[in-house]
Structure 1
Amino acid sequence: MNSLDGYRPRAAWMTTLMLTALALINFLDKIVLGMVAVPLMRELNLSPAQFGVVAGSFFWLFAVSTVLVGFLSNRIQTRWLLLAMGMTWAVLQIPQALFSSMAAFLVSRVVLGAAEGPFYPVSVHALYKWFPDEKRNMPVAFLNQGAVVGLLLAGLLIPVITHHWGWRTNFVVLGIIGAVWSVLWLCVGREGNLVQRPRGSASAPLQKVPYRKLLSNPTVLCVFFLGFAGYWMLGANMTWLPTYLEQALGYSGITSGRWFALVIATAAPFSLGLSWLSQRMLARGASSRSARVRLLCAAFVGGACLFFVLMLPGLSPGQKVAVFALAGALPTVCFALAPALLSEVVPDAQRGALIGIHTALASTGAAIAPMLIGRIVQAHGNTSAHAYELGFATSAGMLIVAALAALCWLHPERSRGASGKRVATTAA
């Protein structure tokens, strides 16, 4: 069991709250394009395939910037990196409210994606400086609920803003929200003081493992694959679910926004509940293989099966929404457990970089999925529910393959033993 010396719960959870708010903004920025897809495609005269390219472009430089800033986070305090991100996001919203061509809009999304890419690994790295290993599931799960709340608010508010003031107004509102968060973070943001050192040697230097060894570790590679599958599903859902609800299932813009909010809200209890269950199992002595790996794989397989259920004949639109909500909710526990699995085998001095590489590689799934599904929808008709469901079935396939790979090769305890890394979290 890890030492709790230097653990300050109040400051740790205040940081968690602020970063959860930033996650909310991050996902509002991501989902807004999907939420205004119908009027945007109409005004800019975009086909589904062209819109898929614009949506996926958000992730084109996402991976590069994530890796670069991940390495920087090993040297620069995370509070300053996070402040820079918040301010940059706010500024980059304004051009999106002004541009009117596909090319100009695409460039704006590419640059914004590069600015937002490092958010998750830097935030997780920042939180791990506040929480010891045995307490890391819940704060990261809580951080992920910022995304849920952001998507929930998007479903409720963006259609209303679009209806009354036009789709471009949403980007102005997002710029203002980002600026407010940046001012608050400048006032209250602090750096955590927990680091990992070899057990029994509080003054020993931080361990490092060659990156070639870390990047060839089966556990690390499996976590990367799990993240890829999770981001594939996330990119597909965020981009195409609003259009699926409106164009294929026949709901109005405001009603489909409410259904979208319900789908997103469903993820919160599953993500928090499964993260809590995993942490509880660890506290009772279960291995990480059981408490994290097998639990995560079960969630992936369950979600995948439900995505396939969508294709069954005879389901009403309401039933399809309910099935989709459960299918999308179960795999979201990946975003809490995957970084925790990495932190078990990666030294603190390299953790920011590895979580950055993980997010970079995983996010390529979110870049590819919208484009592929756009082609599927265009080939089968953008008013056909079956076309969208074929696209969502690609997520099911990815989830199943990733789960099978993890069950075969993801062994955190074995990987720690092989690298000789057995560390405890103590105060710096």
Structure 2
Amino acid sequence: MFGNSGRPATAGAVHTVRNPLGGVDTAAIRRRGWTVTALLLAFMVVNYADKAAVGLAGVDIKTDLGLTNEQFGLVQSSFYWLFAVGAIVFTGVSDKIGARWLVGGLGALWCLSMIPLVGSTGFTVLIASRVVLGLAEGPASAVAAHVVHTWFTPRRRALPSSLIFTGVAIGPLLAAPILTWVITTFDWHHAFLVLVVAGALVVAAWLVAGKSGPVSSATTRERDTATGAVLPDRIGWSQLLRRPTLWGIALLLFCGYWSVSLKVTWLPLYLREGIGYSPDEAGWLVTLPYASGAVLSVLCGWLSGRMTARGISCTLTRGVVPSVAFCATGVAMIGFTVVPRGVGQMILITLAFSLTTAVWGVAMAGLSDVVPGRQRGTVLGAVVAAHSLGGVIAPVVLGSFVDSGVTLAAGYGRGFLAAGVVIVVGSAIAGFLIRPDRDSHIVARAAAAAG
């Protein structure tokens, strides 16, 4: 379909939008881009359903294997031990392997890593399975974001980016009631069988219809950013890494992942052990943050795109707004530890575990405003690696608080209170660092000066 110039091979392409990227913003390409976006959404749904499984089966796993809360926290943390390694290694080779085989291979490895949990298993095998799954799922969000960005010009990326990140919410939203029913009807091993089958179906669909788009092709120079800057193909790493926006987004997402990891690892147990809801009640209540996150993510992505199209500063839309939302996450988390059980507490829990999801894609899109196209996959992988450290630390820290508490409820309360403080402080600092408008033009001027 495309020649070496990146333009359609036929002159009859309809509805072509005149833009600095030439012929890569046609209606036909955008339609195919939305198909790929839907497949990547399914990819992310399975990704986060996998993450949530151990948390949903946590009480049964602890009872079956005789684990302490600290040991269970170690199981949850083990998922992130090689998460950063996978994010850096696989995204670093994404351009060489190609999106079709990389995404398909990662999904296949997810399925293989969970097969040992379908039958009788022990603590060591459970740890090993989660480590391998974390290695394979580490690059998922970076790869998905990178691929979807190849189908849309920078000014159009906020909404598709936000849509694929609704998988963060939709995966556990679907998994919570389904896997809870499977666990209570059969056992927790059958929950992993369901995930293996779901993963295999998504892999098959992706291998049939998934691929990269034309915007990132080696012959197409990216000349359109949401900030108006003309980015080069690449720039010296020393110059790029001096841009505070990169570090600010990495810190912001680290704080956000502190919340996300606690949501998928400890929230189901907190609802049962810390607050006292029944297994069925907890199975449905845990879906509230995910449902809220899915709706808010689409809404925020759409609003961000509209604001950018109207010329509103990217520093505001992709820096200030996400930072404020992340700070509000921390405040809500502190709040639900001090209010009594009831509707008010569930509202705060829902906000604490959905606001980060709502603006995650918007914050990630801010990287595309600053990072040249040929370096974007590597940078996205490095940012994912950095924010995954929140997933390594948070489950273990909370498990320690739970074990050291006078009661389970007191331990959970102190743990979530500490988490809220970390998120508020880190997000506030990040907000002062993220300046896409300024940094994108600095990158452009540096490249021009270098000739």
TM-score normalised by the chain length of structure 1 = 0.93
| Structure 2 CA distance for aligned equivalents of residues 286 and 5 of structure 1 | 26
Which moved further from structure 2: 289-298 or 352-361?
289-298
Moved more, 93-102 or 142-151: 93-102
2:130 to 94, 97, 109: 109
Residue 145, structure 1, aligned to residue 166, structure 2 = yes
Contact 2:331 2:420 in 1 (8 A): yes
Aligned to 1:166: 187
Residue of structure 2 equivalent to 1:372: 397
Q: What residue is the counterpart of 1:347 in the other structure?
A: 372
Pairing 1:55–2:76 present: yes
1:179 maps to which residue? 200
Query: Aligned residues: percent identity?
Result: 31
| Deviation (angstroms), 1:213 | 2.7
**Cα distance, 1:115 vs structure 2:** 0.9
In the alignment, residue 301 of structure 1 is paired with which amino acid?
A: C
Alignment match, 1:415? 439
Given candidates 288, 301, 318, the residue that maps to 1:262 is: 288
CA contact (8 A) 1:2 1:134 kept: no
| Residue of structure 1 in register with 2:5 after alignment | none
1:6: which partner in 2? 24
Equivalent position amino acid for 1:416 in 2 = S
Q: Deviations over 1:160-196 (max 9, x none)?
A: 1011111110111111111111111111112200136
Is the CA contact (8 Å cut-off) linking 1:2 and 1:132 kept in structure 2?
Answer: no
Alpha carbons 1:155, 1:257 under 8 Å: kept: yes
Which is bigger in relative contact order (C-alpha 8 A, separation at least 6)?
1
Moved more, 209-218 or 410-419: 209-218
1:400 aligns with 2:409: no
Is residue 332–residue 348 contact of structure 2 (8 Å, CA) maintained in 1? yes
Distance 2:407 2:67 in 1: 13
Structure 2 residue 257 is matched with structure 1 residue 231: yes
Distance of aligned partners of 1:125 and 1:199 in 2 relative to their CA distance in 1, 3 Å threshold: closer
Residues 1:205 and 1:30: Cα distance change in structure 2 (over 3 Å)? closer
**Structure 2 counterpart of 1:6, which letter?**
V
**1:246 and 2:264 equivalent?**
no
Per-residue deviation, residues 364-410 of structure 1 (Å, max 9, x unmatched)? 101110000000011115631x3223222233223222332233222
- 1:194 maps to 215
Q: Relative to structure 1, is the Cα distance of residues 97 and 176 closer, same or farther in structure 2, using a 3 angstrom cutoff?
A: same
Shift in alpha-carbon separation, 1:24–1:349, aligned structure 2, 3 A: same
Aligned amino acid, residue 327 of structure 1 = A
* Structure 2 residue matching 1:168: 3-state secondary structure: helix
Pick the aligned partner of 1:22 from 43, 54, 57.
43
Show the counterpart of 2:312.
Answer: 286
Give the superposition deviation at 1:411: 1.2
Q: Deviations over 1:15-49 (max 9, x none)?
A: 00001001111011100000000010001000000
Contact 1:226 1:334 in 2 (8 A): no
Over aligned residue pairs, what C-alpha RMSD do you find? 2.0
Compared with structure 1, are the counterparts of its residues 255 and 90 closer, same or farther at alpha carbon in structure 2 (3 Å cutoff)?
Answer: same
Query: Residues of 1 paired with 2:205 and 2:407: CA distance?
Result: 43
The match for 1:362 among 387, 393, 400 is 387
C-alpha separation in 2, matches of 1:164 and 1:45: 21
Number of corresponding residues: 418
State the match for 1:426 in structure 2: none
Is the partner of 2:221 in helix, strand or coil? strand
CA apart distance, 1:300: 1.5
TM-score w.r.t. structure 2 length? 0.88
Sort the Cα spacing of 1:199 and 1:261 in 2 relative to 1 into closer, same or farther, 3 A.
Answer: closer
Residues 352 and 28 of structure 1: CA distance in aligned 2, closer, same or farther (over 3 Å): same
Contact 2:251 2:387 in 1 (8 A): yes
Q: Secondary structure at the match of 2:151?
A: coil
Question: Does the 8 Å CA contact 2:328/2:424 hold for their aligned counterparts?
Answer: no
Structure 2 residue 247 is the aligned partner of structure 1 residue 221: yes
Post-superposition Cα deviations, 1:202-251, rounded to whole Å, max 9, x if no partner, equal xx996212223323321111111011011111011111100011112111
2:137 is the alignment partner of 1:119? no
Distance in 1 (CA, whole Å) between partners of 2:342 and 2:170 is 24
Conserved in 1, the CA contact under 8 Å of 2:142 and 2:381?
A: yes
Note closer, same or farther for the CA distance 1:421–1:190 as it changes in structure 2 (3 Å cut). Answer: farther
Cα distance, 1:321 vs. partner?
1.7
8 Å CA contact 2:109–2:136 kept in 1: the answer is yes
